[in-house]
Structures are given as structure tokens and as C-alpha cells.
Amino acid sequence: MSPVSASAVSSLRARTGVSILACKEALEEAGGDEEKAIEILRKRGIAQAAKKSARDQSEGLIFVAESGSKVGVLLLKCETDFVARDATFQSIGEALAKTLLAKGEAAMRAEAEKILPDAVQKLGENISIGEAHLIEAPVLGTYVHSNRKIAVVIGLKGGDVGKARDVAMHATAMNPLYVHPEEAPLELLAKEKEIWAEQLKKDGKPPAIVEKIMTGKERKFREENALLKQPFVKDSQKSVEEYLAGAVVVAYMRLSVS
């Protein structure tokens, strides 16, 4: 029997959504016939998971595992909030987050490939890994909203865990897009400038004034969306930067279920 090519395995995986190993075994048994391989996967009970793979997974929960100066954050996706509240779903998310922290992303995804098909069969919905992040910093502060739909990690050099967690809570509420004003994405700025230019054109402003207004709008936009320049939610008389009192933000991650 001729060996199954990597492209054949890739094609079957794209059509079914099941693991590479399962696709390879099914193709070998089917003599390389993709349709027969799909039938084999159906008989093995994997087809239900494969059929569901195209369905939208707009729900899910975020799981966090932390130890010392390292934290693992995992978004486990599903189709409905009903399944997200299920104890089995939550225990899987917690276990995968711990694996992410202890062994890294590759090991976590390998474990997910083994356990998620059974979970799909049991819960009747497609379930998959959304995002996975491993973050390290001298001082870490994490905040997970009570509904597990938003999680923020702040890494500091200097300061303490209390300050880091306070800033994480701030970011949960205020959704800064980046840490420093100069980090504003150029693509985002370009879109905003198009809108501002159109608005000013309708107002009939002279070109010389338009240029000054655009410069001011850009500076304001950069600062309003920068973590360090936002008024701190617990004390609006201070910026986040002033609250940190010299502690430097070396890591910022905000993850949400969307």
C-alpha cells in the first residue's frame, strides 16, 4: 500500500475538522479514497464533530492559570452560552489552561485534539480553542470578569501585584487598544483620518485649519486609546501612568469572547 501524502491528509482534515492522526489512519484504511475515509470517520463516531465544525462558535469562556511570574490564558469556544455554563465544558477549559501554563501551547493543543471530539459528542456542539497566550513578567496582575467573557493580564517591571491587578481591572472596563500613544496602529489611524476629513469637509473648514484640527484629533485619539494616558478608573484625577508611579508596563493582553 502506497503511503498517504501530506496533501491528502490536509485535504481530509480541511473537510472534516478532525485530527491529523485520525485523518491519516482513515485514509490508509480507505486506500487513499477520501470519500471512503469520510465514511470510516463517520462510523468511528467522529463525523458528528466534523459536521458541526462549520457552525459558528460565538460563545465560550476564558480560563486563566497562573504560577509565579507566568500566566496562561485560554479562550475555549462553543456555539451557545448554555454549553459554556456546562460543568464538563468548564472542567475541560480549566484543565487545558493548566496544561498551557505547565507544558506550553503545543502540548495544550495536542491534548485538546484528544479530548475535544468526545466533548463535542457529549455536549452536542462544536468546541474549539480560540486563542491561547503565555505571558511572563516580573510582576503579574490578572483580572477575569465574573462572567469569564473578558480577561486582562498586566505585566509590570516594578510596582506590585496590587497595582498590576488594579490596572488590569481598569483595562477590563476601559478597553485600551495599546499601551503607549505612539503604538496606535497606522491602519486604524488611517481609517479614523478618513472619517475626520469627511466631517471637516462637510463643515467647510479652510485647508490650513483642517490640517491643525486633524493633528489635534490624532493626538487625542492616540491618547484616549492608550492605556497609560487614560484617566484611572479608581481615581480620575490621575492617569494610569501616574497611578503606576514609575512601574513600567512590559506586557498587556486583553481577551474577550466576541
Which band of pLDDT confidence, cut at 50, 70 and 90, is reported for residue 12? Answer: confident
Instruction: Name the grid cell of 224.
Output: 484616549
Closest CA to 141 of 77, 60, 69, 238: 69
Distance, in Å, from the CA atom of 104 to the CA atom of 99, rounded to the nearest integer, reads 7
**Quick one: average pLDDT of 186-213?**
87
Number of domains, the chain: 2
pLDDT of residue 52: 60
Do residues 59 and 45 share a domain? no
Q: What contacts 199, CB < 8 A, 6 or more positions away?
A: none
- Of 1, 50, 10, which is closest to residue 30 (Cα–Cα)? 1
Residue 106: inside a domain: yes
pLDDT band at 38, cuts 50/70/90?
confident
Residue 146, class by beta-carbon neighbours within 10 Å (0-12 exposed, 13-18 middle, 19+ buried)?
exposed
Task: Assign 3-state DSSP to the chain and report helix, strand, coil percentages, each to 5.
Answer: 55, 25, 25
208 within domain boundaries: no
Structural domain includes residue 63 = yes
Q: Which grid coordinates are listed for 130?
A: 480560540
Q: How confident is the model at residue 6 (pLDDT cuts 50, 70, 90)?
A: confident
Q: Specify the CATH number for the domain of residue 35.
A: 1.10.8.10
For position 1, what pLDDT does the model report? 56
Is residue 17 in some structural domain? yes
Compute the average pLDDT of residues 109-114: 92
Last residue of a domain, one of 103, 136, 169: 136
Residues 20 and 72 in one domain: no
- The last residue of one of the domains, among 119, 136, 153, is 136
Quote the CA–CA distance of 258 and 246 in Å, as a whole number: 34
- Of 97-101, 117-121, 145-149, least confident by mean pLDDT is 117-121
Q: What is the pLDDT of residue 28?
A: 92
Q: What is the pLDDT of residues 39-92, one digit of tens each?
A: 888 887 776 555 565 567 889 999 999 999 999 999 999 999 999 999 999 999
Q: Which domain holds residue 44?
A: 6-52
Query: Can you give the CATH number for the domain in which 98 is found?
Result: 3.30.479.20
- Is 81 inside a domain boundary? yes
pLDDT at position 2, please? 66
Give yes or no for residue 11 having a pLDDT over 80: no
Same domain, 62 and 104: yes
201/64 Cα distance (integer angstroms) = 48
**pLDDT for res 47:** 60
57 versus 187: the higher-pLDDT residue is 187
Is 194's pLDDT higher than 60?
Answer: yes
Q: Of all residues in the chain, what percent carry a pLDDT higher than 90?
A: 66
Which range (16-20, 106-110, 111-115) has the least confidence? 16-20
Instruction: Determine, yes or no, domain membership for 37.
Output: yes
Which range, of 161-170, 203-212, 213-222, averages the lowest pLDDT? Answer: 203-212
Q: State whether 60 and 120 are in the same domain.
A: yes
Between 206 and 80, residue with greater pLDDT: 80
